[in-house]
Structure 1
Amino acid sequence: MSPTVAGSCAPPAAVLCGLAGRVPSRVVTNEQLARRLDTDDAWIRTRTGIRQRHVIDPGQATSDLAVEAGRRALASAAVDSVDAVVVATTTPDHTCPATAPAVAARLGLAGAAAFDVGAVCTGFVYGLASAAGLIAAGVAERVLFIGADTYSTIVDPLDRANAIIFGDGAGAVVLRAGHSDEPGAVGYFDLGSDGGQEDLIMVAAGGSRQRSRPGEPGRAERHFAMRGKEVYRHAVTRMAESARATLSRAGWKIDDVDHFVPHQANLRILHSVADDLGLPRERCATHVESVGNTGAASIPLALADAAESQVLKPGDRLLLTAFGGGLTWGSCLLTWPTLPRPERTMP
């Protein structure tokens, strides 16, 4: 039954009760990239803060990481069933069908509602809002939500600008119906988009737009493309604006935030957003150094990393914010609950 208090019209809130992350075992260091690209470790670190990233082996897919992260998150929450499985990804196993139903089936959750969310690197915040909405509407009492991406499958390995940034990974949370005033409750979302800027971050080929045209797509069209300088400017501005809007809705001040957990785009962007908000950089949770930009997986992986290292304490107030292709952006707030220490994210 829904936990809504008798006589109250307040809908149930989504409460975080499980968390896990997983990255592939295969590591690609800056030195390895330098052998095929016109770059070196110092250049990469100076511009991105990244020293290594993890990538899947040939034959693996996004669902493989999603299943492992999902399995761990269910164990963390000590549950073996949910009412819905949501997967946020830019790199689904197939154009059709969605990846979530296959993930649900492999986890023994066949029969649960299952669907994908596509908001690129904002996918975790958008998906979190979607999962919270299922709970608030009474459609589900428990939701497994996974952010998973394998950017190594869409980034051109010879593209120096992007090959140095992205890695593969998956992060998962379990949400249950609860009360808005209890630790772990997710709330006060801000979401936005600007489709007029869709060409700033894009894979041009593979969809109906390209397929409806004659001829085969070129190499560049088949791979991920990003106009870095323009994206940097939009990312910092939109993430900071969204974060402020969310804080305002909750009545929080910037000093009320114990930990800032942004999408792990690159270290320069993270620090620029923190500086714009007036947040000390030491409150910014980062792990981009060791895994790179993992798209929709980056925020849950950062949460799992911070929880594993015991940086997060019950009662800590968190601000989550992200920016991605679309363009899309979003933020939300979370008071950290008491959770089991996650399994190691790294293999």
Structure 2
Amino acid sequence: MEVSKTVLGGALIGSALGVQISLMFAGPLLKRLGFQKTLFLGIPMLGVAEAAASMMHTPIAFFVLLAIGGLAIGAVEILVNLEADRTEHLVGRRIMNRAHAMWSFGFFTTGLIGAGAAQFGIHPAAQLLAITVLCSLATFWLFAGFKPAPARPHDSDSSSEFVWPTKGILLIVAFCLSAMLLEGASADWSVIFMRDVFHTTPFLSGLALAFGALSQGILRFFADGLIDRFGTTLVARVLVATLGVGVVTVTFATNPAMALIGFALMGFGTSAIFPLAMSAAAQRTDRPAAANVASLAQVAFTTFLLAPPLLGFIAEYFGIRVSFGLGIPLVILSWFTISSLQPPQK
């Protein structure tokens, strides 16, 4: 589109906005459609919207199509997270982080495919449409006879109203803010960072995204067992420290290999911070768990809405290294608010 980083950052809001709208208002529709119909409609809708967005020549059209794709992401996210939660209750053990690991491994795979396609000059629309067809066919085949887990006792529909955060929730937000910002920064800007700072080939640039997703997926796959064995606080400290090392490495990288290591460390560090925050919110006793979880989720996605234009503006006027460097003080904030993960003392 030949636009500035500020304009690109504003256009990227479309996806996060679509997700937020879906999370707030799609519940009743999804209840009527059910698990299979939502997946069978949502996956193709997402792929077609993303492919169409890649062919747009104006930021507004790009924004609108990303928003449509975001609606599909939000719908599928609600459904899959709900199914993982109900399955956890059914089998009596943690599986949520492992479920999210599958998302990261998918991101890693598509990152590699995208990097290779870019290296050979294949248009993004062609690769996205091909992936959409393959993923849609796989979804139809895998879930044709799927029976969702039964609802938890006392399951209730979430409200679309904004739930104001309490002081305790704000402390949890402070803890996970660095992970939310830096995960979004890696997804949106890591490839551009490699291209602009080191003038790398398309394939090498794409590896920044792929390496981050791979390390994130590996840690998520084992996170539930690690939390059970070592406890929330120790795991959180290791994750925040690793995230800090990663963002410092990226910000001050002197060569592409150093930057790739930094992005991998950032993926490791961001992997389970938000799930830990969600668990801490649910365990608070100052009001119903659903209200605290909804409050944290809404503030989190507000952050995702604001992050792309903020990072784009900073990259445009101060350099993309500074955009990532913005995460350093936030990691320090996360370190000093780890105690917010502990249930309040009675």
Same fold (TM over 0.5): no
Bigger helix fraction: 2
TM range (shorter): 0.3 to 0.5
| TM-score normalised according to structure 1 size | 0.33
TM-score by structure 2 length?
0.33
